[in-house]
Amino acid sequence: MTNSNFIQSASQSLYEALRSAQSIAPLTDRYPDMTIDEAYAISLRLRDMRLADGETIIGKKIGVTSDAVMNMLGVNQPDFGFLTDAMWAKSGVIDTSKMILPCAEAEIAFKLKSDLIGPGITEDDVMAATEGVAACFEVVDSRIKDWKIKIQDTVADNASCGTMAISDAWVDPNSVDLLGCKAVVHKNGKFLSEGVGAATLGSPLRAVAWLANTLGERGIPFLAGEIILSGSLVPLERVVISDHMHVSIDGLGECEVRFS
């Protein structure tokens, strides 16, 4: 199989898994020598298929940033992907029938007021380019069966993107202790977990800078108006129909999501 055919075949498999909500075997089982660059090429092809369906890019995300999530998934570095308008559950209600094994994670979302074009982006650059930050839930959902992923699998699968819910309350980032702010998560009214901003690569600003530089090396800029998800502050939590998740983050307020 040529490299081009391999990328087309893998991206088509992931696209069909996404649209049918049916998982597939790990790509790394079929293609054990797959590189990160090839995985990224697959994710770009998958992105183009979604854009052809009428979706539009609204931002980017970094994932697998905390030790808790790395250990849970057996992955030793972050992943990265694109966000589209179809992923944003503005109502705060998420339809689980369109997902496979969804897991919720509490994060800090960034909204940009100016472009960030890596490489060479610093944490100070991220702060200067940020219009606001907000509490959010990302609900990830791997198309790889039983979350048996290696880093190449999740990068190819658009960083296991599912959907997201973001608070309406965007806050000036200069008013928030982004390293020390504590996130407290409740599930169905009961305490579940907590974490601080520093849980994501030591700082959410560092995570966003890493993502800007990683994508910038591949010719992908961050654009003014885009939303950037900076990575989970707490362990992933499996969710099913009728679950309710709530997070409160110091200085950022609250976000909640329900699953139907």
Q: Where are the domains of the chain?
A: 3-259
Amino acid 123 reads: E
SS (H, E, C) 23-43: CECCHHHHCCCCCHHHHHHHH
pLDDT surpassing 90 at residue 78: no
List the structure tokens of 70.
């790395």
Mean pLDDT throughout 100-116? Answer: 97
* pLDDT at position 73: 66
* pLDDT at position 67: 72
* pLDDT at position 2: 47
List the structure tokens of 134.
């907000």
* pLDDT at position 36: 87
Mean pLDDT throughout 63-88? Answer: 80
Residue 48: enclosing H or E segment and its boundaries?
helix 36-52
List the structure tokens of 258.
């329900």
**Residues 142 and 154: beta-carbon distance below 8 Å:** yes
On average, the pLDDT of the chain sits at: 93
Q: In which band, very low, low, confident or very high, does the pLDDT at 68 lie, cut at 50, 70 and 90?
A: low
* pLDDT at position 1: 42
Question: 70 φ, ψ to 5°?
Answer: -60, -45
Mean pLDDT throughout 128-151? Answer: 95
Total Cβ atoms within 10 A of residue 13:
18
The rounded percent of the chain whose pLDDT value lies above 90 is: 83
Total Cβ atoms within 10 A of residue 25:
13
Is the model more confident about 77 or about 175? Answer: 175
pLDDT digits (tens, 9 = 90+) for 225-254: 999 999 999 999 999 999 999 999 999 999
Q: Rounded to whole angstroms, how far apart are CA atoms 82 and 84?
A: 7
Measured between alpha carbons, how far is residue 112 from residues 182, 209, 222, 253 in Å? Answer: 23, 12, 8, 19
CA 123 to chain centre: 19
* pLDDT at position 181: 97
Provide the 3-class DSSP secondary structure of residue 132.
strand
**Each residue of 180-217: b (16+ CB within 10 Å) or e?**
ebebbbbbeeeebbbbbbbbbbebbbbbbbbbbbbbbe
Mean pLDDT throughout 60-88? Answer: 82
* pLDDT at position 24: 97
List the structure tokens of 224.
């003014």
* pLDDT at position 149: 87
| CATH number for the domain whose boundaries are 3-259 | 3.90.850.10
Torsion over CA of 29, 31, 33 and 38, rounded to 10 degrees? -120
Q: Rounded to whole angstroms, how far apart are CA atoms 74 and 53?
A: 33
- Whole-prediction pTM value? 0.93
Q: Rounded to whole angstroms, how far apart are CA atoms 204 and 77?
A: 15
Cβ neighbours for 31, distance < 8 A, ≥ 6 positions apart: 6, 10, 38
pLDDT surpassing 90 at residue 47: yes
Residue owning tokens 């030790």: 67
Mean pLDDT throughout 183-200? Answer: 96
Q: Where are the beta strands (DSSP E) in the chain?
A: 57-63, 79-84, 93-94, 103-112, 130-140, 163-166, 182-187, 190-196, 227-232, 237-238, 244-249, 253-259
* pLDDT at position 5: 87
Residues in the chain: 260
CA 151 to chain centre: 14
